[in-house]
Structure formats: structure tokens, C-alpha cells
Amino acid sequence: MNKEKEAIELLTAIGDWFADHPQARKDCKDHVLALDTFVPDGQLLDTVFGEEDDELQLPDDFTFPASEIEVENWGDEEEVGDAIGDYISDIFGYCHYGFDYELDTMDSGEVKQIIVTDIKWDTSD
């Protein structure tokens, strides 16, 4: 397989993941551009990484594993909300005005993942 085809297949395979994880998209694209190997043109990279004219793309909804945050008492809505808010602000690099969330639990009651919805972003500088 030639390097061009291999690079395009690799970028295409990870493109969907980056579309769902905008916090990592720019860093990875910059890393790919810095590689000392074949790099497809910028327009192809924009397509692979789901970017359109450097337009800010923040998700309205976001799901992540509960293990990503530290919460002592999952029954304490304030503690859980604060931990989630800090996490999504750190991940995406923007503050928010608010959000809703749902805890996805296993039969044992252990929290498996957190589903954050209706995120209201503060994109002012």
C-alpha cells in the first residue's frame, strides 16, 4: 500500500472520532501537519476532521465515561454538576452557562457514563 493511500485511510478511520471530540480535533490536525511523512492537502484534512472554514463547533450534547471525573457522592447534585461543568469546560476550552445531565448506571447502581445535554456555551472573549 502506498503512503498516500495509507495516510488517507488512517485519517478517515479516525475522522469520526474527532468529529465527536472537538477538543482533540485541532491538536491532532496540527500534529498530522507536523509529521515528516506524506500529508494530504489542507482541504482533505478539514473534511476528515469535520471542520468547515474554522467555524467554532461546540457540541450541544456530550457523553463521557464517569471514570473521567472524581465524585465522592453521586447523590449530591451540586457536587456532580460542578464536576461535570469543570470537566466539559476543561475539555472544550470554553465556559458554559449551563447544561442538563443524566447518569447512565449499571444494574449494580454504579455510574457507567454521563450524558450531558443542552449545553449552553459562553463563546464570548
- Same domain for 99 and 68, yes or no, is yes
Residue 96 inside a domain? The answer is yes
Each residue's pLDDT, cut to its tens digit, for the chain (125 residues) gives 566 667 666 776 676 666 667 667 767 766 666 665 555 555 555 655 655 544 456 788 888 899 999 999 999 999 999 999 999 888 888 888 999 999 999 888 889 999 999 999 887 75
- Same domain for 96 and 69, yes or no, is yes
Beginning with the edge strand found earlier in the chain, give each strand of the sheet holding 62-65 in spatial order.
62-65, 111-122, 95-105
Residue 90: predicted pLDDT? 84
- Mark 100-114 as b/e (b = at least 16 C-beta within 10 Å): ebebeeeeeeebeeb
Residue 89: predicted pLDDT? 87
- Same domain for 37 and 67, yes or no, is no
Domain of 43, in residue numbers: 3-48
Residue 55: predicted pLDDT? 45
- Same domain for 15 and 42, yes or no, is yes
**Residue 123 cell numbers, joined:** 463563546
Residue 47: predicted pLDDT? 58
